[in-house]
Structure 1
Amino acid sequence: MNTSTLHYVFDPLCGWCYAAAPLVQAGRAVPGLAITLHGGGMMTGPNRRTITPQWRDYVLPHDRRIAQLTAQPFGEAYFEGLLRDTKAVMDSEPPTTAILAAETLGGRGLDLLQRLQRAHYVEGRRIADAAVLRELAADIGLDSSAFAAAFEAHAGEPTRGHVAASRALLSRMGGGGFPSFALARGDGGLDRIDASPFLGRPEAWQQHLVQAAGQA
């Protein structure tokens, strides 16, 4: 069977990536389609931030829109816990490192991303904390020692290099932000796929990917 590759540029703290999570799951069920993850580092370096009332007021309308559009769940622990904790740090780098580590452990990056999103948006967990990341990796069945070693190997410069490469890919794709998807063509080119019309419609997205992969 021929294998096509869908490139997915994401961020673990991106609400619209959470909106697209059912689309990613639907894509995983397309025969012969491999999904390659690219963490874009939305909240890394100088873009890291702590929660503020202003930030809560900014994200709440987006979150309500995502829930309305996609039926993705949001928890009270997120709305009334995490979003009111002015000591909580929003930092994409540690969870991106964790996803890279999980990907080296049997290709479990997408599984961990899904778990991280649920932990953040439903359970109100602090997914920038190393201890929380270890717990979530264990939740999906990853060996604790193997995950710790892989996390250490990817921490720091390897993750920052991955983010830089992801941003370069995003530019090459013509993507406007997160989430962005592109299907690799046989000639090495990339065909960007706009996921926004498919939010809340994973079956239609899946059919679209089947057709697009067949033409790539």
Structure 2
Amino acid sequence: MSTPLTSDQTVTYLFDPLCGWCYGASPMLQRLHEAGVAVSPLPTGLFAGPGARPMDAGFAAYAWSNDQRIERLTGQRFTKAYRSQVLEAPDGLFDSGPATLALTAVALAEPECDLDALAAIQAGRYVEGRDTTSLACLVAILREAGFAAAADRLAVPDEDLLAANRTRIAEGRALMARLGAQGVPALAARHDGQLRLIASNALFGSFGNLVSHLNA
């Protein structure tokens, strides 16, 4: 019998929307949410701004090799459409800034739907092979997923949205530094008033193992 979750669990999920390992961890985060854990996604901007880079052939090959490892471990799909239309796209970029901004738009409009919006963006990229570095593409993905208000706001970003996005990224980076997290995905669990880092490898084993880490 699996160990039950304690009733007062809250988790901050540190992530980047272009992180393949974060995509691989998505089913586990969804299971936590469905089990009643309050999951609050917080972007770190790891691959935005200075972390962005051109999607050249060498990096594309490295990414695809890593993605295949994630697929074998988690069962999450990385399709041929993603490989040909995203990784091998001429003049492609690896820049999570636009997708992070899209998720901030959702967080302002429907904060309880953060994980659903993240899943829609991840599916758009890794399954459908869509360019999630494009604001126009992200607007379309949000609209198709039912986030009309967020899509409208993302289409013409105002200073309030941009400022909120900067604040969320700063909070994510500060929490990473505070907990000593070396990358994403990472979980910051709050239990009985204490905040602690859950090792990222707990997201890639059994759900019972993750629960044990949260209850420890």
TM-score, scaled relative to structure 2? 0.87
Report 1:146-185 matches (<5 A). 147-149=151-153, 152-153=157-158, 155-185=161-191
- Compute the displacement of 1:45 (Å): 1.4
Which residue of the partner structure matches residue 92 of structure 1? 96
- Compute the displacement of 1:146 (Å): 5.1
How many corresponding residue pairs? 208
Q: Counterpart amino acid of 2:140?
A: E
In 2, Cα distance between equivalents of 1:176 and 1:6: 18
- The 1:105–1:157 alpha-carbon spacing in structure 2 relative to 1, beyond 3 Å, is closer
- The 1:113–1:198 alpha-carbon spacing in structure 2 relative to 1, beyond 3 Å, is closer
In 2, Cα distance between equivalents of 1:164 and 1:71: 32
Q: Counterpart amino acid of 1:130?
A: L
* Matched-pair contact (CA < 8 Å) for 1:48–1:90: yes
- Compute the displacement of 1:89 (Å): 2.0
* Matched-pair contact (CA < 8 Å) for 1:5–1:35: yes
Report 1:130-209 matches (<5 A). 130-143=135-148, 145=149, 147-149=151-153, 152-153=157-158, 155-187=161-193, 189-199=194-204, 201=206, 203-205=207-209, 207-208=211-212
Q: State the 4+ residue runs in structure 1 displaced beyond 4 angstroms.
A: none
CA RMSD for the aligned pairs?
Answer: 2.2
Identity of aligned residues (%): 30
User: Is there any run of 5+ residues in structure 2 with no aligned partner, and where?
Assistant: 1-5
Q: Counterpart amino acid of 2:171?
A: A
CA deviation vs aligned residue, 1:77-135 (integer Å, no higher than 9, x gap): 11122111132222211111111111222322111100111111111111121111111
TM-score, scaled relative to structure 1? 0.87
- The 1:150–1:23 alpha-carbon spacing in structure 2 relative to 1, beyond 3 Å, is same
SS of the counterpart of 1:192? strand
- Compute the displacement of 1:205 (Å): 5.0
